[in-house]
Amino acid sequence: MAEFLQEKLPEKFGAVQGQIFSLDGTAADESDVVLYDRLHTPKLSAGKRMLIPAETAGAALQTLEALTAGLLVEEARQLREVRRLQKVTKKGFTGGLELISAHPYTLGVIVARTSELSLEEIAETLNGEQAAWPLPERVSAVFVLDVGLVVYQTPATGEVRYFPLDGSELGTVAAGADTLAFLLLYLSSYLNSIEVIAPDLMPLLAQRF
């Protein structure tokens, strides 16, 4: 999946298996695929594992051969770890002008080749698991290839959202063979819409003293 996305997504972004970390010293478990801003991400690694600052991570994907209720909950919790990481670099100022107002969120997406659950059952399981979770920590979307996708929608308009608001609901789209195209559209649209604040890595040096 990482190689496929690297080929298909905008060249500004890289796709790699890796571990996302925060400059406050916390880190999530390794993600199957991290989509990151290549222009602002230093090449850091621990052994063969690539390390990506939370600031430059645009999306984290968990990939599965076959989705079950148990794996859905497990992967949702893994993505929650990623979504909880703090992007701590202060916003830049030039001559008193603030360049960017806030860090963009990191998408959290599950992609499965097949599923034992229907799209409706996926939505129901996520609703139950995430009921008490803060909105910014919830899974952004689930894609089951050749079947369809589960995404947040605004009920009144049907507008698809990258992240839920109060009143947003998980909706299903039976996309069939077009599901992979919808995945690329979803990821590309989000990545092209965000402006990454480059990480200030000096706190890592300070932690050595």
What pLDDT shows up at residue 97?
Answer: 44
Enter the tokens of residue 21: 């970390």
| Tens digit of each residue's pLDDT, the chain (209 residues) | 999 999 999 889 999 999 999 998 899 999 999 999 999 998 888 888 899 999 999 999 999 999 999 999 999 999 999 999 999 887 654 444 444 457 889 999 999 999 999 999 999 999 999 999 999 999 999 999 999 999 999 888 888 999 988 889 999 999 999 999 999 999 999 999 998 888 888 777 666 54
Helix (H, G, I), strand (E, B) or coil at 168: coil
pTM of structure: 0.91
What pLDDT shows up at residue 43?
Answer: 87
Helix (H, G, I), strand (E, B) or coil at 77: helix
One-letter amino acid of 151: V
What pLDDT shows up at residue 107?
Answer: 96
Enter the tokens of residue 116: 């034992």
DSSP tag of 105: P
Helix (H, G, I), strand (E, B) or coil at 112: strand
